[in-house]
Chains A and B, each alone.
Chain A
Amino acid sequence: MTNSLHQYKQKAFNWILLGLFTLALLTGCDLVNSITGNDKEQKEKTVHPILLNGSWGFINNTGTIVIDPIFELARDESDGLAAVREGTLWGFIRSDSARLVIETQFSSAGDFEGGLAPVQRPGEAYGFINENGSFVIEPQFDFAQPISEGKAAVRIDGLWGYVDTSGNTIVEPKYSDARPFSSGLAAVETFEGWIYIDEQGNESIKPTFQISTAGEFVDDLAPIETGDGWGFIDKSGSPVITPKYAETGRFSEGLAWFRDGDYIGFINKSEEIIIEPQFAEVKPFSENMSAIRLNNDWFYLNKKSRLITITSPFENAESFKNGIARVQLGNDENVRFGYINQKGDYIWYPTQ
């Protein structure tokens, strides 16, 4: 009895092991992905524009059409809404209800951020609407950028300032150009070059050297261009990565691209070269992948292995978003757009 029970246990144990073994075989490759598993519900509600028979509609993350292709143009969703155009007029669809929620009526429309979008009716000034399509900041601006960190850059009589989400002026219009707030700072252009202001409008970074181009802060570093080339400043304004590069992009997932001669590589925040210059063109890392152009075609580089892992050639390739990326085949009249997953398989085969 004891003996047979022992044998039974032994057998059961072996079967369990065999089960594990089989499971491991079947799932080994996907295991890492499924462990890191993203919010599935969120993913399913995300929509992505597709071009089909000459008109734009939307698919969800699994490649199913959720909004029929009836629009002349469609943009990526932002904050749960995506701008679409019929004729010359823009409106918005909602990704969760998958329908047109703000009728096409605007001659120009920016992206929703923080529940508001800058829009312009034909012949009128720019204002901001909410998600019901009602103006919450009345039309009054020459031009307006999307909201960022609760503030938007707006232009009045040719000069840029900032308003909050209630439309109160927080920085008087006085700059020749302005960029969105990020990490509490915004780059603005003065006669002496670019500087950074804080949320009260105080000139927070005004270095002794002149900045001819200024990017946004990501992870406490912002790319800037000076007479000596591109580098990065920290939030105190000190050039922690000395300007000397032919070109740099902003940091994303811990890496920033830089150009050395004709070729682009990536550095980390300690300015160590993580990926040697070898690409003709790149897009920032997103979801551990970066679209890169080698010579004629675009492919994808994996951040972990630093190797090209998606080797089908694309005419153009965009950053991954919620696990998928838009890719382009052909150009001009033959342009087709599709979507691939992180393995490089199509979830939407390119259509035109």
Chain B
Amino acid sequence: MKRLFLVIVLLAVFSSCDLVNSITGNEKDSTVNLYPVLVDGDWGYINSKGVIVLEPQFQNASPFYEKLAAVRQSWGWKYINANGDVVIDGNFNNIGRFSDGKAAVQFDGRWGYINRSGNFVINPRFRNASSFSDGRAFVRSVDYSSYFYIDENGQKIESVNMPDIDYVEYNEFKDGRAMIRDNDLYGYIDKNGNTVVDLKYAEARPFSNSLAAVKISDRWGFISGSGSVSISPQFISVGDFGNGLAPARASSNSFGYINKSGEFIISEQFQESGSFSEDRAPVMLNNKWTFIDKSGNQITAPKFDEVQPFYNGLARVTIYVPNGDEIDELYGYINKSGDYVWYPTK
């Protein structure tokens, strides 16, 4: 008992600066199920039942990631907690989402990374910076001359067999791999910067569910993390795997979904389709979007003009409403049954 108490005291001494934060908050493993909604031009947040819990008051609002959400208020970007309290406010020009306990922020025109207390953990010394994933982040040097990955200390990831790389849109590490591009050919590196799949593909997509789509002589197939072909190239077009399925079209103008053996589980029938997330995938029919479940059943009739993937149980949907010469975008939320939790508003 005595010893335990002493340990607690010692811990307190070492960590007292952070103690206040840890007492007031916020177990890392739970999520905040709040969703941004636009009401009469201001953003607020609803809960998963569609009840407004943070009054509309923000000029911009993002989803919660690691219990913090980026919002714009009084023309400044800040982070709020689930109570709507501004917990980080630091003269930022722009801010990104929290991941791996860090967020990219633009400060005096330069990008760096802050921790959950709002203190810099990597100085603002980049021209651009992306979110961390798997302990790595993609950045651009301040002098515009190069793109590279950094570790959590801000150190450049380098290896003998990694080329100087160009910009790629999908630059997050997934399944321990990042897609890289040099001289318009794509390959993959591991977290230490070793080129594990040679740069030989004219088109490629990032890893997801341990497979990556690559284009081999006009047909798309999938490779594993070692670079070996695991689904032979046979598709005209594919998307990324999610929940074990990937959008694909082999012989028609329509998309279906294949499993990891390359077999169609949901037949080719959709005009457009996106990856599964939380067991739902966006699909387009007759120029309108809806979602399907893993059996291919539509959860609502196709009626949305835009959709975002399901996140924390809800998906944001957009409908266009003509307003004179212009078109208003109204944002709503549906649940996994396809019911409106928040009817579209602007």
Residues of A that sit less than 8 Å from B by CB: 10, 13-14, 17, 20-21, 24-25, 28-29, 261-263, 276, 278, 294-297, 299, 301, 306-309, 311-313
Contacts and interface: CB of A to CB of B under 8 A. Distances in A.
B19 interface: yes
Given A29-B17, A308-B124, A311-B90, A21 B119 contact: no
A170 B157 CA distance: 57
Given A294-B108, A295-B110, 10 more contacts: A10-B2, A14-B5, A17-B5, A24-B12, A24-B16, A25-B16, A28-B16, A263-B143, A276-B125, A307-B121
Contacts of B12: 21, 24-25, 28
A20 B9 contact: yes
Interface string B202-246: 000000000000000000000000000000000000000000000
Given A21-B8, A296-B109, A299-B108, A309 B119 contact: yes
B119 A296 contact: no
A13 B124 CA distance: 48
A297 B112 CA distance: 15
A278 B120 CA distance: 15
Contacts of A307: 119-123
Q: Is the interface of B mostly helix, strand, loop or mixed?
A: mixed
Contacts of B143: 261-263
Nearest to B10: A24
What band does the interface of chain B fall in when counting residues whose beta carbon is under 8 Å from A? 20 to 34
Contact of A29 (B8, B16, B107): B16
B13 interface: yes
Interface in B91-119: 91, 107-110, 112, 119
B6 interface: yes
Contacts of B6: 17
Contact of B108 (A29, A262, A295, A309): A295
Contacts of A20: 9, 13
B39 interface: no
Contact of B91 (A24, A309, A313): A313
B341 interface: no
Contacts of B110: 278, 294-295
Q: Quick one: which of A17, A296, A309, A312 has the most chain B CB within 10 A?
A: A17
A228 B136 CA distance: 38
Nearest to B15: A28
Contact of A24 (B5, B9, B90): B9
B330 interface: no
B142 interface: yes
Contacts of B124: 294, 308
A28 B17 contact: yes
Contacts of B122: 307
17 contacts: A13-B2, A17-B6, A20-B13, A24-B16, A28-B16, A278-B110, A294-B110, A294-B124, A295-B109, A296-B108, A299-B108, A308-B123, A311-B90, A311-B107, A312-B91, A313-B91, A313-B108
Contacts of A306: 123
B77 to A, nearest CB: 14
